[in-house]
Amino acid sequence: MPSPPSSSVQDPAVPEFVVPDPAGEPGRAGRGRPGLSPSRANDFMQCPLLFRFRVIDKLPEPPSEAAARGTLVHSVLERLYDAPAADRSAAAARALLPGEWDRMRTAEPRYADLFTADADVAAWLAGAGDLIGTYFTLEDPTRLEPRERELFVETELDGGPLLRGVVDRLDVAPDGAMRVVDYKTGRSPRPGYEGSALFQMRFYALVLWRMRGEIPRMLQLVYLGDGQVLRHTPEEAELATTERRIRSIWAGIQATARTGDWRPRKSALCPWCAHQGICPAFGGTPPELQAGATELALGVNSQVSEASGVTAPSRSSG
């Protein structure tokens, strides 16, 4: 099977873990509350049933080599900037790969099932090394000093929803101008198909605007799969449009949650879906929703009695 499109080369468990973390995390207000990330918004637009599986059922997904490599490369690019500027060479970055891979496997035992032979691991790490090499053809990290890396961002729109995400890198110029940088280990979209990637970046720009009172000057997507960089200067009007779109998506999620009608939507991305075996569009049967799962995940009472499929009496029926 060919590599999945760039927008889907993300391990859903790391780092776009956004909705919701019941344990919360000190210093990150609202972390345990239902909210929306760009990835999960994209999930809902792609397929409501996929959104349900990920956000409400929280079904585990086996790691893929592509997603794990994406997580590994992100981790190395974050760690690279721990070193003094003069020491940020391609060789130094590649040298981080084995240690970061060990750290990933320790933190997430599910990665242990990815490979059975050492030779496969070596080839996979070499592929990650190639992506790192491409990175150095696109940016010179000895001349960059990121203000933030893996920055958790969060804001609440009036009347909801809570928006969250993790920005790979935030650069701030001496005049205060912000540049939001996101690394993609897949290939850049064809001209005219940048919408999904730009939605994610506009989402972050909107959140940063609300948090810091200023619109980022530049949104930059760095595609390591084919060595392309996509740059975009966001305007206030388009971020207002993005806000309306997010509200519309959230309204759609809430309406679907109330009815429990999480329909599959077949698309060209289905071959990379981990849940085809239980998808009605492919002859499968989804598990019953656990009682209270929708409210826990989304803060919305389902009108369908979960785990029974029976429509609950409306409040006004007395």
- Residue ranges binding ligand SF4 (CB under 6 A): 47, 49-50, 264-266, 270, 273, 275-276, 279, 281-282
Cβ at position 28, least distance to ligand SF4 in Å: 30
Helix (H) or strand (E) holding 184: strand 178-184
Cβ at position 292, least distance to ligand SF4 in Å: 22
Other C-beta atoms lying within 10 Å of the C-beta of residue 280: 11
- For ligand SF4, the closer of residues 57 and 182 by Cβ is 57
- For ligand SF4, the closer of residues 20 and 264 by Cβ is 264
- For ligand SF4, the closer of residues 231 and 266 by Cβ is 266
Alpha-helical (H) ranges within 81-144 are 90-107, 118-138
At position 25, the amino acid (one-letter code) is: E
- For ligand SF4, the closer of residues 66 and 170 by Cβ is 66
- For ligand SF4, the closer of residues 193 and 282 by Cβ is 282
- For ligand SF4, the closer of residues 46 and 134 by Cβ is 46
- For ligand SF4, the closer of residues 54 and 94 by Cβ is 54
Q: Tell me the Cα Rg of the chain.
A: 20
- For ligand SF4, the closer of residues 32 and 277 by Cβ is 277
Residue entry with tokens 């990379």: 272
Cβ at position 190, least distance to ligand SF4 in Å: 21
Q: Environment class of residue 140 by beta-carbon count within 10 Å: exposed (0-12), middle (13-18) or buried (19+)?
A: exposed
**Both structure tokens of 54:** 């990920």
Quote the CA–CA distance of 191 and 195 in Å, as a whole number.
10
Sequence length of the chain is 318
Quote the CA–CA distance of 136 and 138 in Å, as a whole number.
5
Cβ at position 53, least distance to ligand SF4 in Å: 6
Cβ at position 44, least distance to ligand SF4 in Å: 11
Cβ at position 52, least distance to ligand SF4 in Å: 8
Quote the CA–CA distance of 202 and 242 in Å, as a whole number.
7
At position 52, the amino acid (one-letter code) is: R
Quote the CA–CA distance of 203 and 234 in Å, as a whole number.
11
End-to-end CA distance of the chain: 55
Cβ at position 1, least distance to ligand SF4 in Å: 14
Cβ at position 286, least distance to ligand SF4 in Å: 8
Nearest to 125 by CA among 142, 105, 107: 105
Phi and psi torsions of 66, nearest 5°: -65, -45
